Amino acid sequence: MERAPLIDPFARPITYLRVSVTDRCDFRCTYCMAEHMQFLPKKELLTLEELDRLCTAFIDLGVRKLRITGGEPLVRRDIMTFFKGISRHLDSGALSELTLTTNGSQLARFAPDLAALGMRRINVSLDTLVPEKFAAITRWGRLDQVLEGIAAAKRAGLRVKINAVALKGFNEDELFPLIEWCGAEGHDLTFIEVMPMGEMGEEMRLDQYWPLSDVRARMRERFTLTELDESTGGPARYVRLEETGQKIGFITPLTHNFCESCNRVRVTCTGELFMCLGQEDNADLRAPLRAHPDNNEPLREAIRAAISRKPKGHDFDYSRQKVAGQMSRHMSHTGG
Ligand code: SAM
Ligand code: SF4
C-alpha cells in the first residue's frame, strides 16, 4: 500500500523509530534509575498487540529501521512473541533492520531466537569490565551474566556494539581496557556522554560528566585518530584508530549538535510519541490505538500530525556549570 512517507517541517525524512516496550528493568544503573522506582501500572503499558500495530503503522509510513529498547526490553513477558510477529516486516522487505538495545542480562537465553528471526546487530550497554564496579554502577547486575550473554550473542552470529557511558571518576581508567577488550572480541564500541535525564541531583550529574572531547584527547595520547565521515543520521560520530583499525563511536548530545540530520523519533512504553529526545512535546498514540482497535488510519493520522511538529533541535546545555534544558523524565521511560 503506497502512502506518503513521513517528512518533518525541516525536510528530514523520518525512517528510524525507537520503541520502549517496558519501563521495568532488572538493573538499577545509578545514572538511569533510582534504586526504588515506582513503575507504571500494567494497564498503562501498550500490550504486545498494540506495540505491533503501532510499529506496523510507522512501517506503513516509511520507517525502515526499528530499535526496541526500554527499560530492559528482554524482561518484558513474552517479548519474543512480539519480535517474531514484527519480523514479518523484515521478511517482506518493508523493514531493513530490526534491532535491540539491551543490558545483556537475558541474552544467553534469547540470542539464538533473535538471530533466527532475522536480527543482525544489537547494542549492549557495558560501562566497566571490573565485576565490583559493574555491581556498583548497575546496583543489581552481575558482570559474568552479561559477559555470558554477549558471548552467546556472538556465537549466534549477532554483531555486538558495546555502549559505554563515559563517567568521570568511574571508568576513566578503563578507556584502554575497554578498547582492547572490544578489539579482541570483535565488538564495536561507542562512548556516550551522560545526559541530564530524570530527577538526579544537579551536583551529582555535573560530577559524573566526562566530556567526550576529553575522552578523545586521552585516546590521542596512544592512538592516531582519523575522523570518519559517515553519519547514521543519529548522534554518533566515528573515528578509526589507525594502529588497530577499530572504529570507535562517540555520542555527544551535549557537546555536539547533531540535530540537523535527525531522522528518528521515539515512542514510550505507554504510547507517547516524542519527536525529540530533548523536548517535552509529545503525542498520545495510545488513544487512537485503543479507540480504533480495527482501524490503523486514525493512528497513522496522529503520527503524521505529530511529525509535522517535530522541532528543529534540543535544548540540553551544560555550559556555565548549570544543567540547562534538564528533562524530568527518565531515560528508561523514553527509551535510550
Ligand atoms: N536497558 C537497556 C540498556 O541498558 O541498554 C536499554 C535501555 S537504556 C535506558 C539505553 C541506554 O541509555 C543505555 O546504553 C544506557 O547506558 C543509556 N543511558 C541511561 N541513562 C543515561 C543517561 N542519563 N545518560 C546517558 N545515557 C544513559
Ligand atoms: Fe536498566 Fe538500561 Fe537503565 Fe541500566 S540503563 S537501569 S540496564 S534501563
21-60 pLDDT tens trace: 999 999 999 999 998 999 999 999 999 999 999 999 999 9
CA-proximal residue: ligand 1, atom 17 (nearest): 336
pLDDT greater at residue 253 or residue 263: 263
The reported pLDDT for the residue numbered 280 is 80
In the predicted model, what is the mean pLDDT of the chain? 89
Q: What per-residue string of b and e applies to 303-330 under the rule 16 or more CB within 10 Å gives b?
A: beebbeebbeebebebeeeebeebbebb
Q: Would the pLDDT of 319 be above 50?
A: no
- Cα-to-centroid distance, 151 and ligand 1 (Å): 21
Contact 265, 275 (CB under 8 A): yes
Asked if residue 331 has pLDDT above 70, the reply is no
Beta pairing, strands 121-125 & 247-251: unpaired
**Residues contacting ligand 1 via CB (< 6 Å):** 25, 31-32, 69-70, 72, 101-103, 125, 163, 165, 192, 194-195, 197, 331-332, 336
Tell me the CA–centroid distance for residue 127 and ligand 1, in Å: 10
Residues within 6 Å of ligand 2 by CB:
25, 27-29, 32-33, 70-72, 103, 125, 332
Atom of ligand 2 nearest to the CA of 141: 7
β-bridge partners, 190: 163, 249
The pLDDT tens digits for 89-118 are 999 999 999 999 999 999 999 999 999 999
pLDDT tier, 324 (very low <50, low <70, confident <90, very high otherwise): very low
Least confident window among 104-113, 131-140, 212-221, 315-324: 315-324
Greater model confidence, 189 or 264: 189
Q: Which is more confident, 255 or 5?
A: 5
Residue with CA closest to ligand 1 atom 14: 125
Q: What distance in Å separates the CA atoms of residue 76 and residue 102, rounded to the nearest whole number?
A: 12
d(CA 279, CA 312): 10
What's the CA gap between 203 and 168, in Å, rounded?
13
Q: Report which secondary-structure segment, H or E, holds 185.
A: helix 175-185
Nearest to 30 by CA among 270, 280, 201: 201
Q: Using one digit for the tens of pLDDT, what is the confidence trace for 196-225?
A: 655 455 545 567 889 899 999 999 999 999
Q: Report the separation in Å between the CA atom of 70 and the middle of ligand 1, taken as the mean of its atom positions.
A: 9
Q: What spacing in Å lies between the alpha carbon of 188 and ligand 1's midpoint?
A: 17
Which candidate, 110, 108, 55, places its Cα nearest to that of 80? 110
Residue 19: name the closest of 43, 53, 42, 60 by CA.
53
Matching residue, cell 550497554: 125
29 CB-near residues (< 8 Å, 6+ apart) = 103, 125, 127, 137, 138, 139, 141
- Calculate mean pLDDT across residues 299-306: 96
E strand or H helix at 110: helix 107-116
Please determine, for residue 311, whether its predicted confidence score (pLDDT) is greater than 80.
no
Give the model's confidence band at 156: pLDDT under 50 very low, under 70 low, under 90 confident, else very high. Answer: very high
Contact 126, 162 (CB under 8 A): yes
Check if the beta carbon of residue 122 is closer than 8 Å to that of residue 160.
yes
What pLDDT score was predicted for residue 275?
A: 87
Phi, psi of 193 (to 5 degrees): -80, 140
Q: Lowest mean pLDDT: which of 2-11, 82-91, 252-261, 311-320?
A: 311-320
The per-residue pLDDT for 121 is: 98
- Is residue 42 packed enough to be buried (19+ CB in 10 Å), middle (13-18) or exposed (0-12)? exposed
Comparison of pLDDT for 230 and 186, the residue scoring more = 186
| pLDDT value for 334 | 56
Measure the CA–CA gap between 299 and 85, rounded to whole angstroms. Answer: 19
Determine the pLDDT at residue 204: 53
Structural domains of the chain in order of their starting residue, each with its CATH number: 16-334 (3.20.20.70)
For residue 8 the three cell numbers come to 518533518
Q: What is the pLDDT of residue 45?
A: 98
Q: How many whole angstroms separate alpha carbon 330 and alpha carbon 57?
A: 26
